[in-house]
Amino acid sequence: MAGQQTLDIEFRGVSKRYGDVTAVHPTDFAVPKGAFIALLGPSGCGKTTCLRMIGGFEQPSSGQVLIGGADMADVPPYRRPVNMVFQHYALFPHFDVSANVAYGLRQVRPRLTSSEIARRTADALAMVQLAGFGARKVHELSGGQQQRVALARALVNRPSVLLLDEPLAALDKKLRTDMQIELQNLQRELGITFVLVTHDQEEALSMSDVVCVMNGGRIVQLGAPDEIYDRPADRFVAAFVGKTNFLDGTVLANANGAARLRLSNGMEVSARVSGDVSAGADVAVSLRPEALRLGAPAGGTGLSGIIRNRIFLGSTAEYAIEVPLLGTLLATADHSAAQSDLLRPGDPVAISFNPGAPLAFPASDNKTRQRESSHVQIVS
């Protein structure tokens, strides 16, 4: 477990209620210093509330928020060693770029000299690749440049934690991808802790070291991006992070998570099972589209189907395949331009997958989730 001195943010039994609504159930969680963590989950799951409690814009209904080991209960937002970047940058349109950035500094350090303010402002603009843009008016900048100014304004105070609330949501896809890479580089260079709120799973997986998946006001899984994708803790995470096929199955035998299942078409498969399931239990079986291999129909006892739709994506193609008694399965296949290997709607295909690929969850996974609190800790 990460030691106390290496933790930057800690929740101890933190919850938040708004009247009858419990936005965040009692939660323990800890973020090591210098981590890039993404809070990921569907709308209303409590991500922003967690971020606002770190920033001091909301008070917890119970529990303690610690930053750098210090209890923040009586510390107002402007005295916390954190800064926040919002989706709508909230820049002052009548100020030039330098004045917008310097505003953040003057608010918390009124005694700095003008030359020191000018120096730090120029440094912050250089950090976000906007050196030389100080005299521009906000309306003379592109959306991406405006977001960088907002970032510089948040960094100019040299916070130890930067909170990012869907900061790239207003940008178009290409700019968003560029900014994702820049933010990642910036975080590595500065070595400060970044907490990113997003409902975009690709953004969370590609940018952060640690993904914290939330659902219904609880943390359901905390781990490295590949861990979240390859070993989802429950059916919700498997469905929310990445695309997957869900098949109905029944457990025939389960030995410490290595199970034999019968699918609804009668086929028997091996699967890794998560949770407490014994023989006879109904399970939902997750099979990622890229785990399905497509080949020429071979006859025999394997799985086969008919291609119904194809979405060509350049280096890959996605196929919707109708499989008797199982329904429609989504498969992703690599495509090489050298050989014309695309399948067409109407083509029959055989489908195979590795024995370890299917992941099974108790069919009642989400309904039976009655835990009172989430206790999760990043292991570093």
The residue range among 37-45, 182-190, 249-257, 332-340 that interacts with ligand ATP, by the rule CB under 6 A, is 37-45
Question: Which listed residue (6, 12, 33, 44) binds ligand ATP by CB under 6 A?
Answer: 44
Distance CA 253, CA 251 (A): 6
Distance (Å, rounded) from C-alpha 212 to C-alpha 204?
9
**Binding span for ligand ATP by CB under 6 A among 36-44, 114-122, 127-135, 228-236:** 36-44
Shortest distance (Å) from residue 24 CB to ligand ATP: 7
**Residue 20 binds to ligand ATP (criterion: CB under 6 A):** no
Distances (CA, A) of 346 to 39, 184, 308, 319, 343: 42, 44, 6, 11, 9
47 touching ligand ATP, by CB under 6 A: yes
Tell me: does residue 27 bind ligand ATP (CB under 6 A).
no
3-state secondary structure 334-359: ECCCCCCCCCCCCCEEEEECCCCCCE
* Phi and psi at residue 8, to the nearest 5°: -100, -45
Minimum distance from CB of 165 to ligand ATP (Å)? 8
Our finding on whether 49 is near ligand ATP (CB under 6 A) is yes
> What residues from 188 to 207 belong to the interface with ligand ATP (CB under 6 A)?
199
272: contact with ligand ATP by CB under 6 A: no
Is 80:55 a contact under the CB 8 Å cutoff?
Answer: yes
Is residue 23 at the binding interface for ligand ATP, with CB under 6 A as the rule?
yes
21 near ligand ATP, judged by CB under 6 A: yes
Nearer to ligand ATP by Cβ, of 44 and 327: the residue is 44
DSSP string of 155-213?
A: HTT--SEEEEESTTTTS-HHHHHHHHHHHHHHHHHH--EEEEEES-HHHHHHH-SEEEE
CB 274 within 8 A of CB 237: no
Nearer to ligand ATP, 43 or 315 (CB): 43
How big is the chain by its Cα radius of gyration, in Å? Answer: 25
Minimum Å gap between C-beta 23 and ligand ATP is 3
Q: Alpha-carbon torsion 208, 211, 215, 219, what sign?
A: negative
Between 45 and 251, CB nearer to ligand ATP: 45
Contacting residue, 4, 18, 106, 342, with ligand ATP by CB under 6 A: 18
Beta pairing partners, 32: 7
**Burial environment of residue 343 by CB neighbours within 10 A (0 to 12, 13 to 18, 19 or more):** middle
Cβ proximity to ligand ATP, 24 vs 105, nearer residue: 24
Residue selected from 15, 48, 254, 304 as contacting ligand ATP according to rule CB under 6 A: 48
Give the residues lining the site for ligand ATP (CB under 6 A).
18, 21, 23, 41, 43-49, 199
